[in-house]
Structure 1
Amino acid sequence: MEKMRAMVLSECAPVESNPLKLSHIDKHEIKKPNEILLEIEACGVCHSQLHGIEGDWKDIGIPPFLPTVPGHEVVGKVVEIGKDVTKFKVGDRAGVTPLLEACKTCQYCKEGKEYLCESSTVTGESFRGGYTEYITVSEDFATKVPQDMKAEYAAPLFCAGITAYKAVKAAEPQTHKKIGIFGIGGVGHMAVQFAKVEGVDVIAFSRSKNHLNVAKRLGAKDTMVFSDSQDEFLQEIKAKHGMLDAAIVFAPADIVTDTAIKAVKKGGLIVIATVGKNPEFMAFEEKTIRGTLIGSTKDMEQVIKICNEKNLEVITETYPLEEANEVLKKLKNSEIEARAVLIP
């Protein structure tokens, strides 16, 4: 059996203890006639992996089992196809989102919301993750990537990009609608740009001056340093902008979610794209709180199309696969400007 290099997690532990170990595991092979085999060119490092690896999300079943190979925003070259594959040929490039497969028969799958499927498989929560050299995926859950799109640009689109796109859509964007984006990292910096494509007036919030400079450069109308002194901070937002029409929350802190809800006008909309406690909610203010999760394969095609046509920027820094532990430490310490990408 051919082997491949992989960064394997055998037990959840703080990233400072280097929990990912470079291993040689069996190279993936096509097992079903509708699968393709990708030789991985790049895999983005998502903040949710940090929570999974450190065991923060055990209570919601992540990771579902160990050992595992993390990584769920993957781009690669098609090196082999199953006998029934029609969507791809050898030599094409393709990407995989966190949705590795779904049943295709349940209510969600039939509605085009396959990412909500109860029996879906998540990329990077089994041995089929992206911190390695090869991955197999059903052709229905892979998306074509243009030949001239750089791998380190394309990989983050498959989680950060689609999450940002879908969150902006969930905020019901319209020209000059005032939308606050809370948290400008790997996902937030993409959301600023997707919102701009829709003509939205973006106000970006972050604790990091660096991230706010990025948001400003990418087209945010205004940026504000987030503060935990909630009353003062809300007063400052009101003085500068009045109440927000909508807010999108990417920062994984309950105080941020709570502040975002309070910064939105009555009857407004708050999109939450993170995991946390249920925030306080005043029913009589008629606000809508909406969750969001990646997106469908159709959404993913749109993300690639928009990024390609509008030349949206993806801020990345690349590292060799073997440095996955170091990269996760940097991510934990907010030392990554937007998205780190591992190159096998």
Structure 2
Amino acid sequence: MHANQLLTPAPISEHPLTWRETDRPEPGEGQLLIKVAGCGVCRSNLHMIEGDWVDGGVPAISPIVPGHEATGRVEAVGAGVEGFAVGDPVGVQPLWWTCGECEFCTSGREQLCHRRIITGEHVDGGYAEYLVSWADHTYHVPENLDLVEAAPLFCPGITAYGVVDKIDVGPGDVVAVFGLGGVGHMAVQMAALTGAEVVAVGRTPAHLEVARELGAARTVDSRDPAAMEAIADSADAVLTFAGSDAVTAQAMQTLKWGGTLVNAVPITVQDFHFNKGQTIKGSILGNREQMRAVLRLASEGKIRTVVERFPMADAAHALEELAAGRLRSRAVLHT
């Protein structure tokens, strides 16, 4: 098979990814071999490829195939696997494996498993023609979904669902979404499903346009001080998907007293005033039942992805477009 392999992390401008021929993997007991149809391009892929996470042990192997939100069809079924057959449309999210035994795995919070293995960071991921997955962490994709367009459901989709699930809002409430890229465009839709008024805040005109298309009641250019002042202390909940101290400060200024901020990226909060009674929550991905709920919402036409397609061999170009901020929403590599 062919795959995009990373040998040594380096700036994307130095072309650290190589499209090369390599051995096709085979599924072991409890595993599946998936012929990849599409794999989303996440900013975390860029962080790993450029070496931002080397000190944390990521990538864990070399060479490694990046990519953690992949869809395709089952090519082969390993021993002991039930519920999957060759040809089934399936998807894999960042959680490639969890222990199944710890307090988190046994309480529906497997995304917090301390022994978790991440697709495309600890093991080979979806920037390739084939991918091995664990059946327990592989999901049936509804037949009415396009496999390439469905790929972002497995990271932006589940991440946004997990974030929105942590707020208690409905009609009459205001939810502000900061960071309108791959995850943010899903969060706008999921927040709108609660019945709350969704305010989408960003600095990229194309992202603001997508947010309006997907149900945002209002969009705000974060570069406009007057526009930001107009929404100060207005949101019952704020969702943040941009790892920027400046964006976090704007988000906190937008949050009402007594409101809740949920972040799905690392943030630094300064001047947190306890007397405002605000709550800050962190969120990472979601559990397996939540992932299935995301797929149901997509199958029912209640949410959709906005993607830009790139041939699998052009992964480097897709990453360059992401790094330059030229993507309208989510890039997806396709075979």
User: Which TM class, normalised by the smaller chain length?
Assistant: over 0.9
Is 1:246 aligned with 2:237? Answer: yes
- TM-superposed CA distance for 1:83, in Å, is 2.7
Alignment of 1:67-82 (within 5 A): 67-82=63-78
- TM-superposed CA distance for 1:280, in Å, is 3.6
Query: Residue 29 of structure 1: which of 26, 49, 71 is its match?
Result: 26
Aligned residue number for residue 314 of structure 2 = 323
Alignment of 1:62-211 (within 5 A): 62-211=58-207
Deviations 1:117-168 (A, max 9, x none): 0011000014421001111212110110022311111111000111111111
* Larger mean Cα displacement after TM superposition, 145-154 or 297-306: 145-154
- TM-superposed CA distance for 1:302, in Å, is 0.2
Aligned residue number for residue 269 of structure 1 = 260
- TM-superposed CA distance for 1:199, in Å, is 0.9
Q: Is the 8 A contact 1:171 1:247 kept in 2?
A: no
* Larger mean Cα displacement after TM superposition, 297-306 or 140-149: 140-149
Residue type of the alignment partner of 1:64 = A
Deviations 1:244-271 (A, max 9, x none): 1010001121110122112111111001
In the alignment, the residues of structure 1 paired with residue 168 and residue 303 of structure 2 have an alpha-carbon distance, to the nearest angstrom, of 20
Scaled by the length of structure 1, the TM-score of the pair is: 0.93
In the alignment, the residues of structure 2 paired with residue 283 and residue 64 of structure 1 have an alpha-carbon distance, to the nearest angstrom, of 40
Secondary structure in 2 matching 1:107: coil
In the alignment, the residues of structure 1 paired with residue 46 and residue 269 of structure 2 have an alpha-carbon distance, to the nearest angstrom, of 22
Distance 1:24 1:144, change over 3 A: same
In the alignment, the residues of structure 2 paired with residue 255 and residue 10 of structure 1 have an alpha-carbon distance, to the nearest angstrom, of 34
Query: Residue 12 of structure 1: which of 6, 9, 12 is its match?
Result: 9
The Cα RMSD (Å) is: 1.6
In the alignment, the residues of structure 1 paired with residue 331 and residue 316 of structure 2 have an alpha-carbon distance, to the nearest angstrom, of 12
Residue type of the alignment partner of 2:38 = A
Query: Which structure 1 segments of 5+ residues have no match?
Result: none
Distance 1:122 1:279, change over 3 A: farther
Q: Is the 8 A contact 1:5 1:23 kept in 2?
A: yes
Aligned residue number for residue 335 of structure 1 = 326
Residue type of the alignment partner of 1:322 = A
Q: Is the 8 A contact 2:248 2:269 kept in 1?
A: no
Q: Is the 8 A contact 1:39 1:77 kept in 2?
A: yes
Secondary structure in 1 matching 2:132: strand
In the alignment, the residues of structure 1 paired with residue 250 and residue 31 of structure 2 have an alpha-carbon distance, to the nearest angstrom, of 45
In the alignment, the residues of structure 1 paired with residue 143 and residue 130 of structure 2 have an alpha-carbon distance, to the nearest angstrom, of 19
Residue type of the alignment partner of 2:62 = L
Distance 1:276 1:55, change over 3 A: farther
In the alignment, the residues of structure 1 paired with residue 8 and residue 260 of structure 2 have an alpha-carbon distance, to the nearest angstrom, of 39
Deviations 1:14-42 (A, max 9, x none): 1111110112222111122x211111111
Secondary structure in 2 matching 1:23: strand
Query: Residue 291 of structure 1: which of 278, 282, 288 is its match?
Result: 282
Deviations 1:85-132 (A, max 9, x none): 112111211100000000000000001111110011000014421001
Q: Is the 8 A contact 1:228 1:255 kept in 2?
A: no
Distance 1:114 1:334, change over 3 A: same
Aligned residue number for residue 45 of structure 1 = 41
In the alignment, the residues of structure 2 paired with residue 64 and residue 94 of structure 1 have an alpha-carbon distance, to the nearest angstrom, of 25
In the alignment, the residues of structure 2 paired with residue 170 and residue 320 of structure 1 have an alpha-carbon distance, to the nearest angstrom, of 36
* Larger mean Cα displacement after TM superposition, 95-104 or 141-150: 141-150
In the alignment, the residues of structure 2 paired with residue 257 and residue 81 of structure 1 have an alpha-carbon distance, to the nearest angstrom, of 45
In the alignment, the residues of structure 1 paired with residue 2 and residue 40 of structure 2 have an alpha-carbon distance, to the nearest angstrom, of 17
Secondary structure in 2 matching 1:104: coil
In the alignment, the residues of structure 2 paired with residue 326 and residue 54 of structure 1 have an alpha-carbon distance, to the nearest angstrom, of 14
Residue type of the alignment partner of 2:27 = I
Secondary structure in 2 matching 1:26: coil
Scaled by the length of structure 2, the TM-score of the pair is: 0.96
Aligned residue number for residue 281 of structure 1 = 272
Residue type of the alignment partner of 2:221 = V
Q: Is the 8 A contact 2:117 2:123 kept in 1?
A: no
In the alignment, the residues of structure 1 paired with residue 53 and residue 202 of structure 2 have an alpha-carbon distance, to the nearest angstrom, of 24
- TM-superposed CA distance for 1:228, in Å, is 7.9
Residue type of the alignment partner of 1:287 = Q
Q: Is the 8 A contact 2:159 2:284 kept in 1?
A: yes
In the alignment, the residues of structure 2 paired with residue 304 and residue 106 of structure 1 have an alpha-carbon distance, to the nearest angstrom, of 26
Distance 1:342 1:291, change over 3 A: same
